Structure 1
Amino acid sequence: MRIPEETVDRIRQAADILEVINDFVSLKKRGSNYIACCPFHNEKTPSFNVNPTRQIYKCFGCGKAGDAVRFIMDIENIGYGEALRYLAKKYGVEIEEQEQTPEDLLRQNERESLLIVLNFAKTFFQETLQTSDEGKSIGLCYFRERGFTNPTIEAFELGYTLDQWDSLLKEGQRRGYSQELLEKAGLILSKEGGKVFDRFRGRVMFPIHNVSGRVIAFGARILKTDKNQPKYLNSPETAVYHKSQVLYGIFQAKQAIRQEDVCYLTEGYTDVISLHQAGIKNVVASSGTSLTTEQIKLIARFTPNVTILYDGDAAGIKAALRGLDMVLEEGLNLKLLLLPDGEDPDSYVHKVGADAFKTHIKEHSQDFIDFKASRWLTEAGDNPLKRAEGISDVCASITKIPDPLKRQTLSQRVAQVFHVSEQSVISEINRLVRKQQEQSKKESDRQHDRQVRQQNTAPSEASVDDINALLDGLNVSVAEGHEFPPADSLPVDQLSANGLTKAVKTPLSYQEEECIRLLMNHGTRELEPGITLCQYVLSELHEIEFQTSPFNLILTLFREAYVRGEILTANDFLNRRSEGPEQSNEIEMQHQAIHLTTPRYEISDGWKKHEIFVPSEEEIGILADAAYRNILRIKKMLAEQRMATLQQLLREPGSKTPEEGDRLLTEFMHFKRIDMEISRLLGTVISG
């Protein structure tokens, strides 16, 4: 269904990009903008930039860019309409929903449909818990025994499912949800012979939310003794749920994690809920799976500090050690806390209370060196070989840390704890690093050998049809003697599809990009009274077409607007709609506008403090010179292109008449003089 344009405008005006992105990433102020590590790709140094004035974001690492709507589309992997509805709900903008037709339902993508049916299931389980006799006597009684209050039950949207074969299936079908959709969501199972039944039966339900609060899966605990049933049962992997990428409680905890600047990591649902109720809200669980790299990266969006809270038994120690190196490898600061033997976070916070639990965390949390060393020293006693083994084990963890300065500092700490020389610790770390590099090289060599063997089994020569297909994809005919188009004139994905290398910009495309950047940022500025930069550039580029398609399209729009008496600005491109595949050009132009108006670096305030002043492009003289030199470079490169074409024509053997040869030579000399004059004006070496 389509949302009216006036409603879209209200949503966009209400949405604040800092608030929207802060729900998913911790932003830090730098100058007039905000930065963070990008949530769309793995990085250790922040390259994700948010501009609150223009209400846009840009990652200088992976290239992702857009406004608040585009961010929600990318981070949640949802469509344009669903992203607008998300923001409308967040900011209380009412949308007049139209009744969906069968055609509308068909157009909904699978992900959005799954989220809708999972939300239905969550509500159904909540109602069953609160209204059915079985739900109240079994499910609600269990939660009360665990000490969960009504606000806590509501905050985590806990529920119950009846001990019946098809209660959810029947209610879902009655609401219009197909059996196929319910099965794709992991809510029902079908067996051979046509038997269909609910996956979850007679269990208390723990909805699993994504970062934005949408239900994407369920964890379920059985309450009766049944050796044929697992105690805990989780949703299967679906299009919206990948358990290795999800942390239980992250939606409820993200604000507290950001405020406290530390994340407590536990193992179970009830650990999270009990600590949250006790006022320790910055806690999540890696439930249903061992700790994964993706889960650690999710924590890193909100804080660089992690404290692992695991049970004090052998299994808890093993789990803590298993996750330790992974956390270090992602560059996070790690502490570990093992609770007294026989206790878990849920039982211990009920036993000692919230204040005593917080005190215990503060007093007994250890960094990973003390954590490992204490166990090795206890086990080793007076055995020097065991002590050496312990030192090597701790050093192996240090090698996982990407920051060399941290590694240096921690090597001193290891030397102090084990009472050995710092140089011996550094030597061991270096030995382990070399060993890792050798193993990495061996693996790389093995992969290379496998690729070579695969290539050797392929046909040795490409068929004529394959070559023609490649050329057809590039719209190039070698037989006609045409040149290949510049690499940047092809989209990167098209180049990849044709088996070519990633597109490389030509020198001319860089100058075209610079011209569009000047127009977008400074087009309305007057270089002299009555002459704007836009007027100057368009008059100098009269009848010149850019060879890079997105830049040529933007230049055309500037020309058309100028004819109407208007001068476009960056906002005219930033505010373009991005709904539907037919508007791919508008999405591309919006992306270019963000790229060209977002500076990667800002002058440090420290420079001003020390009276180091850097000339700004905003100054008229500098701006005029930048535009003048940019136009000269564009014209010079176009002249060089034409000269190269004429040289090729002059060298080609054929039936050229003397008159045709003279004409080509005269034209070549004309462009040669232009090239030399522009080189002189630019102060560059004159080409020979």
Structure 2
Amino acid sequence: MSISKLTTDKVKERADIVEVVGDYVPLKKKGQNMWACCPFHGEKSPSFSVSPSKQIYKCFGCSKAGDPIQFIMDIEGVGFQEAIRHLAGKYGIEVEEDETRTPEQNLEQNERESLFIALNFAKDFFVKNLKTEEGRSIGLSYFKERGFTPQIIEKFDLGYALDGWDHFLKAAKAAGFEEDILLKAGLILQREGDASRIYDRFRGRVTFAIHNVSGKPIGFGARILTKDKNQPKYINSPETPIYHKGDVLYGIFQAKKAIRDLDNCYLVEGYTDVVSLHLSGIENVVASSGTSLTEGQIKLIKRFTNQVTVLYDGDSAGIKASIRGIDLLLEGGLNVKAVVFPDGEDPDSYSRKVGSQAFQDYLKENQRDFIGFKIGLYQDEFAKDPIRKAEVIREIVQSIGKIPDAIVRSVYVKEASGLLQIEEEIIHTELNKSLIKSNKEHFQKVKDEAEAELALQELVPTDSQLSFLGKLSIHEREILKLIALYAGESLDDEGKTVIEYLLEETLETKFQTANYEKLYGLFKGLNSKGNEGGLRNLLENFSGENKTMVIDIVHQRWEVSPHWTGKHGIIITTEKDDLSGNSYRALLRFKKRYLEKLMDEATQNIKAAVAKNEDFEQILVLQNIFLEVKKVQILLSKELGIVIG
């Protein structure tokens, strides 16, 4: 069903950009805006800006921009309708459905939303299978053997895939789902070379639903319960438009509140580890689902905390094979601790063996920071081998070098010095070598990219017109910014608004920047309909790239500090204080640059006419055009206080 316009309007009116973004990243006030490290790309210093007054966000690093609804669409990877539902749930707004849409239209709203609907159907189907005779005797009995309670089974949407080729496929088709959507969702398979042979991906296995941050199923992991050597123990959903393994952590939806409240995230390997820790009363836990830790997963953790405790199985060989993940966590700016379980134990088995309280006590008593953990891991190896000790020291130094914070690096150097019984100066020397090498590699990479970009630019023919277009683009942008910010503001006693004045004065010109000309046309269309509201009202009429373009134009990275007035008593005039004058001067600058473009075109036409030996009178006409344009340009320059040589 489609959401009614009334519900959408209520969400738009109620949603606050600071509250919405604040659910995902910690915001800090700086000036009039709020700032954070961008949740959409890796960065160490904040370039993600949120404007409470304009109700928009913009990242000056990756250029992501939008309003509260767009933020949910971007962060959750959902469509407009799903974003509205998410925000309606957050603010307790009842969702009213639009009855005018047909069932076919509802099913085909868009591919992403259809995938979410199909995966949610699959989740419900697998959960209900636990109540069938086969599901009770195989799936439910397995969960009970592991001590999973009905509450935990419901909390994680655990289920069972019936043992047959097409149980799910038949049920899904009966519910109205197309095979194409089920294939794209990774729920069914098509035999290669035989398009007619389609069957269920998950068969005869218990299922673990994988949720995104907002709780929507986006994939499944499934475990076989028989000892069939020809079948893998676990199979997982493939990559789909809404499921990217490297950006997902199992259990993040169930854990996010606890992670934020406790300011710590336990990181384990498998599905059952996560579920077992919840049974032990530990909810701030997620799993990498058996895959190597990725940058995307680290960014996901960092949205909720900077503290990570990695839980390792009691297998030293396995620990050493996966220890690279610690360096990735450090590089991502996280503070890392580790806990190792006794030999032969993992978080799941050990929690069931010792019980809830003893398990929690073990975690508290045995967690060590990454320095002590790494040294302890190799201590037996280098105790009698000085060369191996030197190698371990270098490995420790390399790990410390991954930490972006210089103060934290210094603290760990001191600790490593005491544990390894080696002078701090030696560790600092090695650390500096490592940092210099790393910086050289980084700068070389940047240099190579810059040279490649320069080489690419040299392939493009130069044209004097480009310089005029570049300058003109700045003033086109300024005109559009004034319209976007102050469209309905009155400029004079007659009530003429900013949008009326600026559009009237530029009506016979054509913006030379393609995107700006497109936006200018949209503004004209809104004005003709009598839509003269503020920025928020304008944004409601735009979507996608157009909305992003408007936000990019109006949201500036730098602002005047309020301390100039608050502390020093210096009055700073704002753009709005003299809106009439600023609009007038912006028009003069725009027209001056536009005339320079016309003069350049006239000059090129004169040169071409002379080269072709055209009639003198024709050349004279072109020269007169140039002179007339020049006269107007001189008048505009004088008005702007610009001296013309």
The normalised TM-score by structure 1 is 0.80
Contact 1:310 1:320 (C-alpha < 8 Å) held by counterparts: no
Contact 2:69 2:80 (C-alpha < 8 Å) held by counterparts: yes
- 2:520 is equivalent to residue 548 of structure 1: no
* TM-aligned CA deviation for residue 519 of structure 1: 3.0
Q: What does residue 314 of structure 1 align with? A: 316
Q: What does residue 218 of structure 1 align with? A: 220
* Segment drifting more, 285-294 vs 223-232: 223-232
* TM-aligned CA deviation for residue 208 of structure 1: 0.9
Contact 1:88 1:95 (C-alpha < 8 Å) held by counterparts: no
For the residue of structure 1 that corresponds to 2:594, the secondary structure is helix
For the residue of structure 1 that corresponds to 2:42, the secondary structure is coil
For the residue of structure 2 that corresponds to 1:148, the secondary structure is coil
Q: What does residue 398 of structure 2 align with? A: 396
Q: What does residue 572 of structure 2 align with? A: 615
Contact 1:306 1:333 (C-alpha < 8 Å) held by counterparts: yes
CA distance in 2, matches of 1:553, 1:657: 40
Q: What does residue 118 of structure 2 align with? A: 117
The correspondence of residues 259-658 of structure 1 with structure 2, limited to 5 A, is: 259-318=261-320, 320-381=322-383, 383-404=385-406, 406-435=408-437, 506-525=470-489, 534=498, 537=502, 541=506, 543-552=508-517, 554-555=519-520, 567-576=532-541, 578=543, 587-603=544-560, 610-611=567-568, 613=570, 615-618=572-575, 620-621=577-578, 623=579, 625-652=581-608, 653=610, 654-658=612-616
Q: What does residue 171 of structure 1 align with? A: 171
Structure 2 letter corresponding to 1:329: E
Contact 1:337 1:366 (C-alpha < 8 Å) held by counterparts: yes
Q: Which of 623, 628, 635 is the equivalent residue of 1:665?
A: 623
The correspondence of residues 54-65 of structure 1 with structure 2, limited to 5 A, is: 54-65=54-65
Q: What does residue 235 of structure 1 align with? A: 237
* Segment drifting more, 262-271 vs 366-375: 366-375
**Change beyond 3 A, Cα 1:205–1:183:** same
Structure 2 letter corresponding to 1:133: E
CA distance in 1, matches of 2:531, 2:209: 54
Q: Deviations over 1:460-507 (max 9, x none)?
A: xx9xxxxxxx99xxxxxx9xxxx897599xxxxxxxxxxxxxxxx711
CA distance in 1, matches of 2:523, 2:180: 50
Structure 1 letter corresponding to 2:332: E
CA distance in 1, matches of 2:424, 2:497: 63
For the residue of structure 2 that corresponds to 1:615, the secondary structure is coil
* TM-aligned CA deviation for residue 324 of structure 1: 0.8
CA distance in 1, matches of 2:427, 2:33: 42
Contact 2:313 2:345 (C-alpha < 8 Å) held by counterparts: yes
Contact 1:550 1:588 (C-alpha < 8 Å) held by counterparts: no
CA distance in 1, matches of 2:550, 2:443: 42
CA distance in 2, matches of 1:195, 1:658: 79
**Change beyond 3 A, Cα 1:609–1:324:** farther
Structure 1 letter corresponding to 2:512: Q
CA distance in 2, matches of 1:569, 1:139: 57
For the residue of structure 2 that corresponds to 1:173, the secondary structure is helix
* Segment drifting more, 384-393 vs 625-634: 625-634
Contact 2:308 2:334 (C-alpha < 8 Å) held by counterparts: yes
CA distance in 1, matches of 2:643, 2:351: 76
Contact 2:595 2:629 (C-alpha < 8 Å) held by counterparts: yes
Structure 1 letter corresponding to 2:63: G
Q: What does residue 491 of structure 1 align with? A: none
For the residue of structure 2 that corresponds to 1:506, the secondary structure is helix
* TM-aligned CA deviation for residue 533 of structure 1: 6.8
Contact 2:36 2:48 (C-alpha < 8 Å) held by counterparts: yes
* TM-aligned CA deviation for residue 127 of structure 1: 0.9
Structure 2 letter corresponding to 1:74: D
* TM-aligned CA deviation for residue 550 of structure 1: 4.4
CA distance in 1, matches of 2:275, 2:24: 21
* TM-aligned CA deviation for residue 308 of structure 1: 0.9
CA distance in 1, matches of 2:445, 2:583: 51
For the residue of structure 1 that corresponds to 2:323, the secondary structure is helix
* Segment drifting more, 417-426 vs 207-216: 417-426
* TM-aligned CA deviation for residue 23 of structure 1: 5.0
* TM-aligned CA deviation for residue 333 of structure 1: 2.1
Cα RMSD of the aligned pairs, angstroms, is 4.0
Q: Deviations over 1:231-284 (max 9, x none)?
A: 333233334333222210011112222222222111111221222243322210
Q: Deviations over 1:156-179 (max 9, x none)?
A: 111123334443233233333345
* TM-aligned CA deviation for residue 513 of structure 1: 1.0
Contact 2:134 2:162 (C-alpha < 8 Å) held by counterparts: yes
* TM-aligned CA deviation for residue 323 of structure 1: 0.7
Contact 1:573 1:593 (C-alpha < 8 Å) held by counterparts: no
**Change beyond 3 A, Cα 1:609–1:147:** farther
Contact 2:249 2:297 (C-alpha < 8 Å) held by counterparts: yes
The normalised TM-score by structure 2 is 0.84
Q: What does residue 126 of structure 1 align with? A: 127
CA distance in 2, matches of 1:6, 1:329: 47
- 2:5 is equivalent to residue 5 of structure 1: yes
CA distance in 2, matches of 1:187, 1:562: 48
* TM-aligned CA deviation for residue 389 of structure 1: 1.5
For the residue of structure 1 that corresponds to 2:177, the secondary structure is coil
Q: Which has the higher contact order (CA 8 A, sep 6+)?
A: 2
Q: Which of 248, 251, 254 is the equivalent residue of 1:252?
A: 254
Contact 1:158 1:204 (C-alpha < 8 Å) held by counterparts: yes
CA distance in 2, matches of 1:676, 1:633: 12
Q: Deviations over 1:108-156 (max 9, x none)?
A: 5544333322222211111111x22332343223323333232222111
CA distance in 2, matches of 1:447, 1:558: 38
User: Identical aligned pairs, as a percentage?
Assistant: 46
CA distance in 2, matches of 1:565, 1:380: 79
Contact 1:161 1:205 (C-alpha < 8 Å) held by counterparts: yes
* TM-aligned CA deviation for residue 401 of structure 1: 2.9
Contact 2:210 2:221 (C-alpha < 8 Å) held by counterparts: yes
Structure 2 letter corresponding to 1:248: Y
CA distance in 1, matches of 2:118, 2:387: 59
**Change beyond 3 A, Cα 1:185–1:637:** closer
* TM-aligned CA deviation for residue 575 of structure 1: 1.0
CA distance in 1, matches of 2:332, 2:223: 33
- 2:70 is equivalent to residue 70 of structure 1: yes
* TM-aligned CA deviation for residue 6 of structure 1: 3.6
CA distance in 1, matches of 2:223, 2:476: 62
* TM-aligned CA deviation for residue 381 of structure 1: 2.1
Structure 2 letter corresponding to 1:513: R
* TM-aligned CA deviation for residue 206 of structure 1: 0.9
